[in-house]
Amino acid sequence: MNRIQRWTALAMAALLLLAPFAGSLAEVTAEKTEARGKVTEITWKNENGTVTAGPEGYAVIRYTYKGSDTTETYYDADGEPYQTGGGYYGRIVTKDGRNNISAVSYIGKNGELTVNTLGYAKVLYKHFTSKEEREVIYCGADGKTPVMVPSLGYAQMETKHRGNVFIGRVYKDPKGDPVDIPAGYASFEIQLAKKTSAPIKSWYEHADGTPATGPDGWSVCKMERDNKGRLTKAEYFDTEGKAVQPAGYAAETYRYGKDGVVTVTRFDTAGNKVPFDGEAVSVRRIMKGKKVTEETFLNDAGEPVAASGGYITVSYTYDKNGNLTMTQYRDANGNKTTCRQGYSAIQETRNAEGQLTSRKYLDISGQPVNNNVNGVFEEIYEYDETGRLRAIQQFDATGNKLNGRN
């Protein structure tokens, strides 16, 4: 089933900080100061050791801790309070007893609550006991009253679960009534099978309850499952109940074999097979639990065939937490091969929170190689103490720093 776009206040905060500073920067490094095992200050310095503006515009970020609150404030190279492009001088991040973020407050020069450039001063988070996010509320200057966020098109977002299973999301106005967001719908719902709790239908609705078209171009997805609860077919329909193929196909079928093998085939509205990639009309996947460990592209006769990227098989490796660590391209004999983008594998590393920290492109022998799309060998993802993406630094295969994205 296609993914549904999910916005959170943390993502919006990243946009507030990063957007004004896109482009290249001189070589700068961050120096951390710690006390009692916690970071109290981060200072950006240039190659001469001089305090200078970092990737987000400020030169120094200071952290103070009090109870469940972490306060971060920003300063320029002269030590003066710094106002970010988002219109605030700092943030207070509050966590609950289960270490979930329960509030993010934006503060002014003197520590007072202030409305940022996106139109809110505080974001409240509520969670289920399973730690899954239940509700997000954007508040105005008083930190309590919900306000519409123009860029989002809603004031509140409620997520629904049955046990630990996600069953829907509703966007609301300040009064708590459903509201259509810019994507063209107000809610996304999922119906679960009574015995297995597996999804059998999902759909979008407008604020008035009428059918809506979702961001992927369909209104309703109907799913069929076998007696083991495994997905065997998924079909997509428009608001009038007619088959639709916004992504180039109207249905997918799943045929299961032994040892975790499943073959996926796509069809158009007339029931004809639709190319999966290149000349491939099906893909054979090897599953381990819910993870795909290998994909092989097949032609109409069920024989391996090259995908548009020039490879026939892709293998995937995961760490103990289920995070993808390696994507390897292979030929018809299972040997490593080079894709048309100029690399043989993509290696990824993540931190303890599961955030991507590094992505590297490797040749057949596992050595650094530049991908021929943008000349990048490695991307380094940097986060601040509250988990926000601070910057993306890019390097070529010889170690030269390229223009990072900030």
Could you say which DSSP state residue 397 is in? T
In this prediction, residue 19 carries a pLDDT of 41
Query: Which residues in the chain come in under a pLDDT of 50?
Result: 1-25, 406
In this prediction, residue 313 carries a pLDDT of 97
**Beta pairing partners, 43:** 31, 60
- Tens of pLDDT, residue by residue over 298-333, are 999 999 999 999 999 999 999 998 999 999 999 999
d(CA 378, CA 368): 8
d(CA 76, CA 22): 18
Q: What tokens were used for 229? A: 């609860």
With residue 255 as reference, give the H or E element that holds it. strand 251-256
**Beta pairing partners, 9:** none
Amino acid at the residue 179? V
Question: In Å, what is the CA distance from 300 to each residue of 10, 131, 306?
Answer: 45, 45, 13
Domains of the chain, residue spans: 1-147, 314-406
Amino acid at the residue 208? D
**Beta pairing partners, 159:** 169
In this prediction, residue 97 carries a pLDDT of 87
Model confidence, pTM: 0.79
d(CA 79, CA 75): 5
In this prediction, residue 130 carries a pLDDT of 63
Of 116, 90, 96, the C-alpha closest to 15 is 116
Of 381, 386, 375, the C-alpha closest to 406 is 381
Q: Which residues, other chains included, contact 248 with Cβ-Cβ below 8 Å and sequence gap of 6+? A: 266, 268, 274
Task: Enumerate long-range contacts of 49-55, CB under 8 Å, 24 or more apart.
Answer: 50/77, 51/77, 52/26, 52/28, 52/77, 53/28, 53/77, 54/28, 54/30, 54/391, 55/18, 55/21, 55/25, 55/28, 55/382, 55/390, 55/391, 55/404, 55/406
